[in-house]
Chains A and B, each alone.
Chain A
Amino acid sequence: MKAVGRRTAGAQQHDAAVAALGVAVAARVPVLLWGAPGTGKTSTIRAMAEKMGWPCETVIASIREPSDFAGLPVVVGDGVRFAPPGWARRLAEAGRGLLFLDELSTAPPAVQAALLRVVLERVVGDLALPADVAVVAAANPPEQAADGWDLSAPLANRLCHLAWEIDPGAVADGLAGGWAAPTVPALPDRWEAGIGLARGLVAAFLHVRPALACAPPADAASAGRGWPSPRTWDMAARLLAAVDAAGAGEETRSALVRGCVGEGAGVEFLAWLVEMDLPDPEAVLADPGSFVLPKRGDRAYAAVAAVAAVVAADPTPQRWVAGWQVLGQAAADAPDVAAVAARTLARCRPDGTPPPAEVKLFAPVLRDAGLLGG
């Protein structure tokens, strides 16, 4: 992670969006940048294609007809053939490249419908584009583009949505030193092996929260952004594997997951991943010596408080003493964190159990805080 803490949160989020764009392109997941007009979406995407040496076909969706994406129907003999337009032929001949769909949200509904197969399956009329063609799109939020439509829910569900918010600092840097083109990370040959593990994680999460497996949005405004469905969860799993293979940061991973399944479901999934890292309190009680205090303060507190809470729920003498052993170890590194949990344990002392030696460890800090006897 480069220079965190030296950049504003806004700049970090923009960096994450740029990195997320690169990862999504590398993983060949269709991606859509949402941002106000004039914030450099188009130039960033073109610069990225140029840097990779890929052909980039820009198709402005709002001035195209449905037949430009579904193929032009041509009457041949006794049937109709759907002839692909020139840009699709060029991409197919090159064998790889970037298909850039600009102004997606100002495309009329019929054009959006025709785009459904292009975006996910890369099929244009009767022509299937090669697997190495990446689909990238850009759109203005409907409230910022006067003639905009909301994206239709089926089209929105085929894309990973990234917020393109420009940080003033990044603009100043870009004007002074030129705009940095996003790098598409080179994924190792066997990166797709990691998708299985990521799918397993998603599946475990959906066992806990089955309601989030498929939750089409109720209102029209949020239907145009990412929402959880089996398809978007699969996209999220693919991107999770790609992020790990590319060694991109956690902010990038967060942006990609939220972009696929939407803000609400994405945040819940990420919070669940964090929780998974905490030690299991019952396992800790069974073997107090194995307890390792998490490094970060709030996680240390969560781990210690969880141990105290399970002891308080079932305070047998043996569990109670084991709980104090855990707190005794924690007190060496973080006396205040452990002292909060110690107060919980002190209140649930089983009858006839003598206070263990660890209790004395907490006396000084409790006295300093004016809490002794309270």
Chain B
Amino acid sequence: MTTSGGAAPGTAGTAAGGMTGVPGLAAGRLWAATRFPYLASGLFGAQVIAVHDIGTVAVDDSWRLHADPALTAQWTPAQLGSVLVHHVCHLLRAHAERAASAGVVPDTARLWVRCCDAEINDDLVPAGLELPGSPVLPAHLGAEPGRLAEQYFAAPRPPDVPSGNPEEPDGGRLDCGSGADGLRRPWDSGGPAGLPPWQARLLARQVAQDCLRHGREAGNVPAGLLRWAGDLLEPAVDWRKALAAELRRAVADAAGAVDYSYRRPSRRASVAGDVVLPALRRPVPDIAVVCDTSGSMSDDLLAMALAEVEGLLRAVGLARQLRVLACDTAVGPVRRVSSARQVELVGGGGTDMGAGIAAASSLRPRPAIAVVLTDGFTPWPDEPPRGMRVVVGLLGDDPPEAPDWARAVRVPDG
């Protein structure tokens, strides 16, 4: 049941004497681990292998760094340490994996790596990274700092901004390796085994926990890294997916879509002799959407959520059963709409969603599902409405809790 062992020999075991043949590695790594203590696990977890005549220090997705000793010998410990930090960030931010989803091909790989470099460098260079040459920053791509590589990559580049860094001619650029763009390099196939993917994931989580802890205690972790760590440890749930699942569940439950029931005997029972067959039932549920139109609501967010609800109901073939109520402290007229664009948001002022839910349950035919879109700053009824499932979409950042009897989905801003 041991999890270490022979599968992944690391740096420490082979480090005796010549430090794997990469000059200055110990000093460079020590500089990096001292300057960026929250990345120490990652820095020591990456395995450095000396590969002659490749003219670069490159990383691959199994946490191996292939370093040309002739090149690193020219660098100061701070420069080598900075390159290590930079490459560890490529791994932590899963740039190779993201390259595949961003549709990076060999022709665009160079641009992608520059975008990744900008994502890493924009807050680590101010934090004291001393990379050799001139590092790529968002400004070189004509973009605002603090974005993701995908955003830099997709952004249209104005023609007057050269795609290359003027101070750094083509030959001066170092190849970051397959860990940045996901394209295999010749040297990736040699050398000792690296970390298998699951151990790489655990190591990244460890670094993320270190970053968050260090951020709480010492407070000098760059904001970009903190955001990365937070996203990794508590991935944000896509509200569209959550809302879709809640609605599908409500519809499936109320409608049974095509579901089997022994309530009535099957029409085929007469030919089946003694076998009791169930009948198919397909009640079509009516759906009411109660929109909070009080002053505190954001129009854009409400339109987005409403469009999402409508799209989902269209997908399950129930768009025609949709009725929309606008509600603040009083309830506006009911409209049967065929598109989210037809909804006018009247109202303003205070909020009482209890009134909206009561109005929805007094509609005839009574809706089987009520979807309440609100910012949550409202009183709620103590008891669930009878015979009606309620799905609450809580719009905006940091809304208050919805009542226990309703299924809630948070729809954050942006």
* A contact residues vs B (CB 8 Å cutoff): 1, 4-6, 8-10, 12-13, 16, 65-67, 72-76, 80, 83, 108-111, 142-143, 146, 149-150, 197-198, 201, 219-222, 224, 240, 244, 249-251, 254-255, 267, 270-271, 273-274, 277, 293-302, 305, 332-337, 339-340, 343, 365-366, 368-371
Asked whether, in the complex, the Cβ of A293 is within 8 Å of the Cβ of B12, the reply is yes
Cα of A139 to Cα of B110 in the assembled complex, Å:
38
Q: Which residues from B are CB-within-8-Å of A294?
A: 4, 10, 12
User: Would A340 and B10 count as touching, CB distance under 8 A?
Assistant: no
Judge whether A337 and B252 touch: CB under 8 Å.
no
B147 within 8 Å of A (CB atoms): no
Closest to B199 in A: A250
A221 touches B245 (CB 8 A): yes
- 5 pairs, A vs B, C-beta closer than 8 Å: A75-B274, A273-B1, A297-B12, A333-B15, A340-B30
Cα–Cα, bound, A256→B78 (Å): 42
**Interface contact A221-B237, CB-CB below 8 Å:** yes
Query: Could you tell me if A336 and B252 are in contact, using CB atoms closer than 8 angstroms?
Result: no
Q: Taking A220-B407, A370-B31 as contacts, is the C-beta distance between A150 and B248 under 8 angstroms?
A: yes
In the complex, chain A residues whose CB is within 8 Å of the CB of B407: 220
Q: Which residues of A contact B77 (CB under 8 A)?
A: 368-370
Which of B4, B33, B81, B196: most chain A Cβ within 10 A? B196
How far apart are the CA atoms of A83 and B42 in the complex, in Å?
A: 60
A5 in contact with B193 (CB, 8 Å): yes
Q: Contact partner of A220 among B12, B31, B249, B275, CB < 8 A?
A: B249
Please determine whether B315 and A296 come into contact, CB atoms closer than 8 angstroms: no
* Cβ contact within 8 Å between B28 and A80: no
Give B160 Cβ to nearest chain A Cβ, in Å: 37
Is B258's CB within 8 Å of the partner chain A? yes
A186→B189 CA distance, assembly (Å): 32
B188 CB contacts on chain A under 8 angstroms: 5-6
Q: Which residue on B lies nearest to A330, using beta carbons?
A: B12
> What distance in Å separates the Cβ of A84 from its nearest Cβ neighbour in chain B?
13
Q: Tell me how many residue pairs across A and B have CB atoms closer than 8 Å.
A: 232
Q: A109-B256, A254-B198, A296-B9 are in contact. List 18 more A-B contacts (CB 8 A).
A: A5-B62, A5-B194, A10-B100, A198-B1, A219-B237, A221-B241, A296-B45, A297-B15, A299-B10, A300-B44, A334-B44, A336-B29, A336-B30, A340-B34, A343-B34, A368-B24, A369-B81, A371-B31
Q: Is the CB of A297 within 8 A of B11?
A: yes
Which A residues lie within 8 Å of B10 (CB)?
294-300
Of B8, B28, B44, most buried by chain A (CB within 10 Å of CB) is B44
Would you call B1 and A197 a contact (CB within 8 A)?
yes
> Is B308 at the interface (CB under 8 A from chain A)?
no
The reply to whether B197 and A295 form a contact with Cβ atoms under 8 Å apart is no
Contacting pair A300 B26 (CB below 8 A): no
Contact pick for B13, options A72, A240, A267, A333, CB 8 Å: A333
Of all A-B residue pairs in the complex, the 10 with the closest CB atoms, nearest first, are: A298-B45, A296-B10, A368-B27, A254-B198, A221-B245, A297-B44, A220-B245, A297-B11, A301-B44, A300-B12
Q: Is the interface of A mostly helix, strand, loop or mixed?
A: helix
A201 — which chain B residues lie within 8 A by C-beta? Answer: 1
A277 touches B12 (CB 8 A): no
Which of the 9-residue segments B201-209, B297-305, B322-330, B376-384 touches chain A? Answer: B201-209
Instruction: Please report the C-alpha to C-alpha distance between residue A10 and residue B62 in the assembled complex, in whole angstroms.
Output: 11
A198–B1 alpha-carbon span in the complex (Å): 9
Bound together, the chains give a CA A324 to CA B207 distance in angstroms of 26
Contact of B260 among A110, A219, A333 (CB under 8 A): A110
In the complex the two chains form, is A109's CB within 8 Å of B78's CB? no
Residues in chain B near residue A300, CB distance under 8 A? 10, 12, 44
Q: CB-CB < 8 A to A72: which residues of B?
A: 275
For the complex, is B139 an interface residue (Cβ under 8 Å from A)?
no
Question: A73 to chain B: which residues have CB within 8 Å?
Answer: 275-276
Contact of B315 among A146, A270, A274, A302 (CB under 8 A): A146
Decide: B45 and A336 in contact? CB cutoff 8 A: no
Q: How far is the CA of A332 from the CA of B9 in the complex (A)?
A: 17
Residue in A closest to B13 when the chains form the complex, CB atoms: A295
What residues of chain B have their CB less than 8 Å away from a CB belonging to chain A? 1-5, 7-13, 15-16, 24-31, 33-34, 37, 40-42, 44-47, 60-62, 64, 77-78, 81, 96-97, 100, 182, 184, 188-189, 191-194, 196-203, 205-206, 237, 241-242, 244-246, 248-249, 252-253, 256-261, 274-278, 315, 407, 409
Beta-carbon nearest neighbor of B272 in chain A = A72
Cross-interface CB contact of B26 among A6, A66, A110, A368, cutoff 8 Å: A368
Chain A: minimal CB distance from B125 (Å): 19
Give Cα distance in the complex from A300 to B10, angstroms. Answer: 9
Report the Cα distance A26→B202, complex, angstroms: 27
Are A297 and B47 neighbours in the complex by a CB distance under 8 Å?
yes
Nearest-Cβ distance from residue B260 to partner chain A, whole angstroms: 5
Instruction: Check B11–A369 contact: CB distance below 8 A.
Output: no
Q: How far is the CB of B353 from chain A (nearest CB, A)?
A: 21
Most buried by B among A9, A298, A333, A340: A298
Q: Are the C-beta atoms of B62 and A4 separated by less than 8 Å?
A: yes
Partner of A267, one of B8, B25, B31, B201: B201
> Quick check: A5 and B64 within 8 Å, CB to CB?
yes
Give the nearest-CB partner of A108 in chain B: B259
- Whether the Cβ atoms of B245 and A295 lie closer than 8 Å is no
Expressed in whole angstroms, the minimum distance between the Cβ of A60 and any Cβ of chain B is 15
The residues of A that contact B193 with a CB separation of less than 8 Å are 1, 4-5
Are B24 and A67 in touch, CB under 8 angstroms? no
A13-B197, A299-B4 are contacts. A371–B30 as well, Cβ < 8 Å?
A: yes
Q: B241 contacts A143, CB within 8 Å?
A: yes
- Expressed in whole angstroms, the minimum distance between the Cβ of B261 and any Cβ of chain A is 8
Q: Please, which residues of chain A bring their CB within 8 A of the CB of B191? A: 5
Please pick, from A198, A219, A369, the residue contacting B34 in the complex, using a CB distance under 8 A: A369
Find the A residue at minimum CB distance from B262: A73
Which of A8, A146, A271, A297 is the one whose CB lies under 8 Å from B46?
A: A297
Q: Which of A6, A73, A336 has the most CB of B within 10 A?
A: A336
Closest approach, in angstroms, between the C-beta of A345 and any C-beta of chain B?
Answer: 14
B309 CB to closest chain A CB, in angstroms?
Answer: 15
Contact B41 A302 (CB under 8 A): yes
- Inter-subunit contact B30/A366 (CB<8 Å): yes
Contacting B196 at CB < 8 Å: which of A244, A251, A297? A251
Q: A48 CB to closest chain B CB, in angstroms?
A: 23
Residue of B nearest to A254 (CB): B198
Partner of B41, one of A220, A293, A298, A369: A298
In the assembled complex, the CB of A257 is this many whole angstroms from the nearest CB of chain B, namely 10
Least CB distance, B129 to chain A, in whole angstroms: 15
**Residue from A1, A146, A270 within 8 A of B7 (CB atoms):** A1
Bound-complex Cα distance A73 to B266 (A): 13
Residues A277 and B44 in contact, CB atoms below 8 Å apart: no
Cβ B16 vs Cβ A333 within 8 A: yes
